[in-house]
Structure 1
């Protein structure tokens, strides 16, 4: 069991879930299946770790968005060819 980031109870489990993400243009969203997630049996919250959110957001910026299908697995998304090596607009690190 993991500690839930929301309720802080030790009743969370690692899972793979489906998430929906809005593209940076705001004109389209995609379904990402089999996304690493945490689900808590105590509070019912299902969420992604900050690292996973950052990976998804960076990848969506770095790939050719015209080649994105409406539905994709997390692994397929992460393995897509990037147009740039890294997110040069991320000044957090």
Structure 2
């Protein structure tokens, strides 16, 4: 258990969730199953940590998003072949 990022109660536990993500070009959204997440038993919120959000967004910039299926798992997304070596839009 860890503090919930939404309500701060010590009731957030690791889990996996299905998320829906808009592709960087805005043409469609995809379903990503088994995504690392946290679920809070106090407020009921299920969320991804900023690191996971960053990994998903970065990967979506690096792959040929037109070839992605409507539904895939988080692992499948992370293992998708990259067409760019790095995200040139990340200025952090």
Q: TM-score, normalised by structure 2?
A: 0.97
- Residues of 2 paired with 1:16 and 1:58: CA distance? 20
Aligned-residue offset at 1:66: 1.6
Name the counterpart of 1:49.
49
Q: CA deviation at 1:88?
A: 1.2
SS in 1 for 2:18: strand
Does 1:67 pair with 2:56?
no
Q: How many residues align?
A: 92
SS in 2 for 1:42: coil
1:5-24 matches, within 5 Å, as 5-24=5-24
Residue segments in structure 1 that go unaligned for 5+ positions in a row: none
Once the two structures are superposed, what CA deviation does each residue of 1:53-88 show, in whole Å capped at 9, x if it has no partner?
000001011001121000000000001110111111
Aligned partner of residue 10 in structure 1, secondary structure: coil
Q: Distance in 1 between matches of 2:85 and 2:24?
A: 18
Query: Quick one: distance in 2 between partners of 1:7 and 1:85?
Result: 38
> What runs of 5+ residues in structure 2 fail to find an aligned partner?
none
> CA-atom RMSD, angstroms?
0.6
CA distance in 2, matches of 1:24, 1:85: 17
SS of corresponding position for 2:54: helix
In structure 2, the partner of 1:88 is 88
